[in-house]
């Protein structure tokens, strides 16, 4: 009889550990994005477990409670916000709940946007935040001389961050990145303007160094750059009166290409007077170290594949072959 009890007890213990092992595993075995989870003041361990289960962050409320007791951290769990993931185990989640942080707003700025487009992204991110002070009007005013230096990246901000704080964060990150790339202060303006062109012209980061080489070839020979994005920038400067404008009109006419502006690289030799967008690290790196190339022309075909050419004849053939235009 005693032996049977021992066997039964052993079986129960093994079953418990098998269940506990399964119950404490991550909900998702895949790499999962993090989510903000809030614990409000006065919540019990049972309530926290219930909310975690509802958010599909844990497999078992019972296993969560056992883990909290086993770790001895029930009195250390804080009220506040936590960044948790379904890819975390119950033990990792329990330990994370002892370190709350202030709620933040995560904002991602893609490469190649104008400051007006960036202002709209921030406005959409902050508009529903309690106590926010972000102002698109102030952002546009503060960035009047900062086009090209608002570094595209993913940032976390306090919901009550001032507009000036946000602008300073973007420009500080720009300074950090250009310092890492060892761009000389004397070359910085040239590099940033060139990088802004690469960001709008290149289909991928791998194309940027050679496109930069083509542009430098043209600059050295005093050829007009004839870059459509500069005309798009010039047209938008004249036509756009609100942040929701189409800042990069895609179909340019021959009349558009004659639009009078110092940014129009069909009418003016050299680089535009200022950057036309805010470039990322790849574009800045390529602009600071262009690839030496014999090419003077390039185009993208309908599939986005780039084709370089050394001569006018080669380029015209590429236009015919890949764009099916102007064929003899």
pLDDT of residue 79: 85
Tens digits of residue pLDDT in 248-288: 998 899 999 999 999 999 999 999 999 999 999 999 999 99
Residue 198 · residue 286 · CB < 8 Å:
yes
- What mean pLDDT do residues 222-247 have? 95
| Cα atoms in the Cβ-side hemisphere of radius 13 Å centred on 257 | 10
Tokens of 203: 């289909």
- Least confidently predicted of 16-25, 47-56, 253-262: 16-25
Model pLDDT, residue 27: 84
Pairwise CA distance, residues 255 & 37, whole Å: 54
Amino acid 101: pLDDT: 77
Q: Are 78 and 98 in contact (CB under 8 A)?
A: yes
pLDDT for the residue numbered 8: 66
The percentage of the chain sitting over the pLDDT mark of 90, rounded to a whole number, equals 65
Distance CA 299, CA 169 (A): 36
Q: How far is CA 55 from the centre of its chain?
A: 26
| Tokens of residue 42, six digits | 């006065």
The encoded tokens of residue 184 equal 């000389």
- Domains of the chain, start order: 31-103 (3.30.1490.480), 105-177 (3.30.1490), 185-323 (no CATH)
Torsional sign, CA 304, 218, 113, 35? positive
Cα dihedral across residues 247, 271, 212, 284: positive or negative: negative
pLDDT score, position 104: 84
Confidence of residue 12 (pLDDT cuts 50, 70, 90): confident
CA 46 to the chain's CA centroid:
38
pLDDT for 5 equals 73
Sorting pLDDT into bands at 50, 70 and 90, what band is 31?
Answer: low
Rounded to whole angstroms, what are the CA distances from 1 to 10, 15, 200, 232, 292?
14, 21, 81, 89, 88
Q: How far apart are CA 170 and CA 150, in angstroms?
A: 5
State what percent of residues in the chain have pLDDT above 70. 96
Please name which of 90, 97, 85 lies closest in space to residue 39, comparing C-alpha atoms. Answer: 97
pLDDT band for 15, please (50, 70, 90 cuts): low
Place of tokens 């756009």: 240
Contact 224, 269 (CB under 8 A): yes
Given a cut of 80, whether residue 42 has pLDDT beyond it is yes
pLDDT grade, residue 173 (50/70/90)? Answer: very high
pLDDT on residue 1: 67
> Which of 180, 117, 194, 106 shows the shortest CA–CA distance to 150?
117
Question: Can you give the chain as a three-state secondary structure string?
Answer: CHHHHHHHHHHHHHHHHHHHHHHCCCCCCCCCCCEEEEECCCCCHHHHHHHHHHCCCCCCHHHHHHHHHHHCCCCCCCCEEEEECCCCCHHHHHHHCCCCECCCEEEECCCCECHHHHHHHHHHHHCCCCCCCCCHHHHHHHCCCCCCCCCCCEEEECCCCCHHHHHHHHHHHHHHHHHHCCCCHHHHHHHHHHHHHHHHHCCCHHHHHHHHHHHHHHHHCCCECCCHHHHHHHHHHHHCCCCCCCCCCCCCCCCHHHCCCCCCCCCCECCCCCCCCECCHHHHHHHHCCCCCCCCEEEECCCCCEEEECCHHHHHHHHHHHHCCCCC
For residues 237 and 245, give the distance between their C-alpha atoms in angstroms, rounded to a whole number: 10
Q: What is the mean pLDDT of the chain?
A: 91
């Amino acid at each position: 009889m005693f032996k049977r009890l021992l066997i039964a007890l052993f079986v129960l213990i093994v079953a418990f550990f098998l269940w506990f092992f399964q119950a404490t595993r991550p909900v998702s075995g895949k790499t999962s994005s993090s989510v903000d989870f809030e614990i409000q003041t006065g919540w019990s361990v049972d309530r926290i477990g219930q909310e975690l289960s509802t958010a599909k962050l844990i497999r078992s409320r019972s296993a969560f409670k056992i883990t909290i007791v086993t770790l001895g951290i029930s009195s250390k769990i804080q009220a506040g916000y936590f960044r948790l993931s379904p890819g975390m185990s119950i033990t990792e989640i329990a330990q994370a709940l002892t370190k709350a942080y202030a709620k933040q707003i995560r904002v991602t700025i893609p490469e190649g946007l104008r400051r007006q487009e960036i202002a709209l992204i921030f406005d959409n991110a902050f508009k529903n935040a309690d106590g926010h002070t972000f102002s698109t009007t102030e952002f546009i005013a503060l960035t009047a001389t900062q086009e090209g230096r608002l570094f595209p990246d993913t940032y976390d901000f306090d919901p009550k961050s001032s507009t000036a704080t946000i602008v300073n964060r973007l420009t500080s990150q720009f300074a950090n990145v250009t310092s890492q790339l060892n761009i000389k202060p004397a070359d910085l303006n040239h590099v940033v303007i060139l990088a802004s062109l690469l960001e709008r012209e290149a289909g991928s980061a791998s194309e940027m160094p050679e496109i930069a080489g083509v542009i430098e070839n043209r600059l050295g020979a005093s050829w007009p750059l004839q870059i459509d994005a500069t005309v798009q920038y010039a047209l938008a400067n004249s036509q756009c009166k609100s942040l929701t404008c189409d800042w990069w009109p895609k179909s340019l006419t021959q009349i558009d290409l004659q639009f009078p502006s110092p940014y129009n690289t069909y009418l003016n030799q050299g680089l535009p007077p200022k950057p036309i967008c805010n470039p990322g690290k790849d574009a800045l790196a390529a602009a600071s170290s262009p690839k030496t190339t014999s090419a003077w022309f390039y185009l993208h075909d309908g599939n986005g594949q780039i084709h370089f050419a050394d001569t006018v004849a080669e380029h015209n053939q590429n236009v015919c072959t890949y764009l099916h235009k102007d064929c003899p």
